Each structure stands twice: as C-alpha cells, then as structure tokens.
Amino acid sequence: MPFLQNTWYMFGHAHEVTTDSFLNRTIADVDLLVYRKTDGTLAALHDLCPHRFVPLHKGKQIGDAIQCGYHGLEFGSDGQCVKHPVTGAQIPKTACVQSYPVVERDTLIWVWPGNADRADASLIPDYSFLTQPDRRNVGGYLHTLANYQLSSDNLLDLSHVQFVHSSMQASEAFERSTFRVEQEGEEITTYLTLPNGLPPPLYRTMLDPGTPLDITFEMRWNLPSCIRLRMTGTAVGKPEEQLFQTMSAHVVSPETASTSHYFYINSRTTDLDNPEADATIRNWQEQGFTQEDKPMLEAQQRYIGDRDLMSLNPAGLKTDAGAVRARRILAERIANEPQIPDRLDTRSYA
C-alpha cells in the first residue's frame, strides 16, 4: 500500500536536531534532511543533491544553508541553490532541492511530504501534555524492522501486554478485562480496563502492592499512526477516586514499507525529581519496547512480508476493533489522494 502523503509524520524529537547537528531520516520512503537554522527554526530538505544525486547529509551546514559534500553547491532552506563554490560560475535553474513543511511542536518535529499548500499545522495531533509544567518526561527512539501499521495494531490492542510484557505488566485482573472502542470523526479511542486487580509488578513501587485497583488504558489514535496513552488507576468501583495517572506519546512513522521509526515519551506527574523513577521507566522502555515488542513485530513482518495483513484473512478478535478501524481510515485516505508521480520531481504534485 502506498503511504499517505498529505499528513504530518513525526520526524524526530526536537532535541535530536541542533544548530550543530542535522539529522537525516527516511520517512514514508522520502529521504529527508532536517536542520536548524541559525535563528533556531527548522528546515527540511530532500536529502539528495540534484547534481549527482548524493545525499546532502554527507555535506555540512554553513549558516542557513547545506553545502553538498561532493562538489560544494549550497542550498538554502527553500531548496534553492544559493552558492556555487567557484566565483562567477553559473548556477543552473535545475539546481534546486525539494523543501518540505516542517513544524516543531510540543518537543516533537513533524514533516509533511505531500502538497505544501495543504500543510495545516492545526492538523498535528495534540501532544501538549508534554510541555505542561510539573511533569517529567522520559522518552526515546526505536528503529523496527516491521511495517508501521503492525506497530499501530500493537498499541491499539494492549491485551498483548498480558503476554508480551508478562514479567512487568501482567495483571491478575486480565481474565475480567473489558474492551471498547469509540470513534469521533477520524479519531479513535480504545479503552482496556482491568478491574479489581493487584498492581502489576511495574507499579508496585508507587502503589500499595496489597491494595487492588481498577486500571484503564485509554489509547487515542490519530492519522497516520500517532497514539497517546492515558493510563489511570482508580479505587475499585470508584472511577472518580484516582490513584495515579500517566500519559505517554507513542508515534510511529513509516520509514519504508517494512521498516519504521517508533518514538515514545512517558510523562509523569509524580516523583518528578527522582532519578530512580527515571531509571525505572527507562528500564521498562528498554525491556518492553526493545526486547519484547520489537522481536514480536519483526517476527510478524518476516511472515507477512509485503502482503497486506487484511488480505491474509486474519482471525478477528474483539480487541482488534480499534486497529481495524484505524487501518480502514488510513486506507480510505490513501485511496482518496493523488499519488506523487516522481519522487525526484515532486514540485508538480497537486
């Protein structure tokens, strides 16, 4: 399936791009170079010199321009060639690079590979909790050898936690769990509730390990594969009596059809200055995402290959409902937009 073009893809965490170091990443099959201009704002260019087609990331940043590392042409943030290294030499009209809309918001960097005229920043999913005061964020990045929709499926159906993450997150309440899905326009929210169970091992340092509670995982999904988790623990049968809550961002951007970028940030409101709490979360992210989710997704990818999951007529479970809706919304959007005909000349795209 082709990738949705007219959408915001997360490119990276804001701290990954500084005025001293640009970052190249392939997003939805488009090689991109994102850098920070001297005023701190971002620029995104196709990571490809139009002269002999070497990646621009092999060059260097000079002021607000990128100098190709091969023959020294320099390109500004709008993609125009601004300098030939030989004084007086002519710059051909074809010496320009595709530039892309790029936005920094809520500590995240977003790029729009489609028609720049349609790049409305208000379409970026809301992750404003990441910049609210009195929160502590711990996050990271993981490269996965699997299609991004497999990651999205994984996140929208947290019943896998009981099995894939059993040592840290299994709950004795799982057999009594309930699952439901809500949809509003193109936004989907899934709710998995584990009622009246003792805290899973991961939460035993912050909760009384002997007191049961109700835990709800609320996953909000937005196009193309942007997820926000709100996890709440409440007194048994009393949803108004909140014992803890964490929020987290889980954003997956396709790299190619069979590889993806997974960005995650856990954001908490307790234990803000406690390095041990940071370490506990980092350990969980390393174990849970890198050692447990990633091998499962990559094993899935090896079997499925370039086939569409739904074409394999998978057995359906109730807990697939959110993922199935997300796939449907994405497929409809892709089917309804014109495709970029030639990646080396995307300026004509309408």
Task: For the CB of residue 316, give the shortest distance to ligand FES in the complex, in Å.
Answer: 51
71 binds, among Fe ion, ligand FES, none (CB under 5 to 8 A by kind): ligand FES
Task: For the CB of residue 66, give the shortest distance to ligand FES in the complex, in Å.
Answer: 10
Task: For the CB of residue 85, give the shortest distance to ligand FES in the complex, in Å.
Answer: 8
Task: For the CB of residue 319, give the shortest distance to ligand FES in the complex, in Å.
Answer: 51
Task: For the CB of residue 346, give the shortest distance to ligand FES in the complex, in Å.
Answer: 19
Residues that bind ligand FES (CB under 6 A): 49, 51-52, 54, 68, 70-73
| 325 within 8 A of 181, measured Cβ to Cβ | yes
Q: Which is nearer to ligand FES, 37 or 83 (CB)?
A: 83
68 binds, among Fe ion, ligand FES, none (CB under 5 to 8 A by kind): ligand FES
Q: Which is nearer to Fe ion, 74 or 293 (CB)?
A: 293
Q: Which residue has the tokens 């499926």?
A: 153
Q: Which is nearer to ligand FES, 80 or 269 (CB)?
A: 80
| 117 within 8 A of 349, measured Cβ to Cβ | no
Q: Which is nearer to Fe ion, 47 or 293 (CB)?
A: 293
Q: Which is nearer to ligand FES, 49 or 161 (CB)?
A: 49
How does DSSP assign 100-113, residue by residue?
E-EEEETTEEEE--
| DSSP classification of residue 70 | T
Residues 6+ apart with CB under 8 A from 108: 10, 12, 13, 14, 127, 130, 249, 251, 263
Q: Is residue 255 a contact residue for Fe ion (CB under 5 A)?
A: no
* CA 49/CA 44 separation, integer angstroms: 14
* CA 312/CA 136 separation, integer angstroms: 42
Task: For the CB of residue 82, give the shortest distance to ligand FES in the complex, in Å.
Answer: 13
* CA 225/CA 84 separation, integer angstroms: 41
Task: For the CB of residue 154, give the shortest distance to Fe ion in the complex, in Å.
Answer: 6
Q: How many residues bind Fe ion (CB under 5 A)?
A: 1
* CA 338/CA 202 separation, integer angstroms: 46
Task: Choose, by CB under 5 A, the member of 13, 293, 322, 323 that binds Fe ion.
Answer: 293
Both tokens assigned to 343: 């990646």
Q: Tell me the backbone φ, ψ of residue 138, rounded to 5 degrees.
A: -135, 120
Q: Tell me the backbone φ, ψ of residue 91, rounded to 5 degrees.
A: -100, 115
Q: Which is nearer to ligand FES, 54 or 334 (CB)?
A: 54
Which whole-number Å values give the CA distances from 336 to 144, 229, 332, in the listed order?
28, 29, 6
Distance of CA 198 to the CA centre of its chain: 32
Q: Which is nearer to ligand FES, 84 or 282 (CB)?
A: 84
51 binds, among Fe ion, ligand FES, none (CB under 5 to 8 A by kind): ligand FES
Report the interface residues with Fe ion, using CB under 5 A. Answer: 293
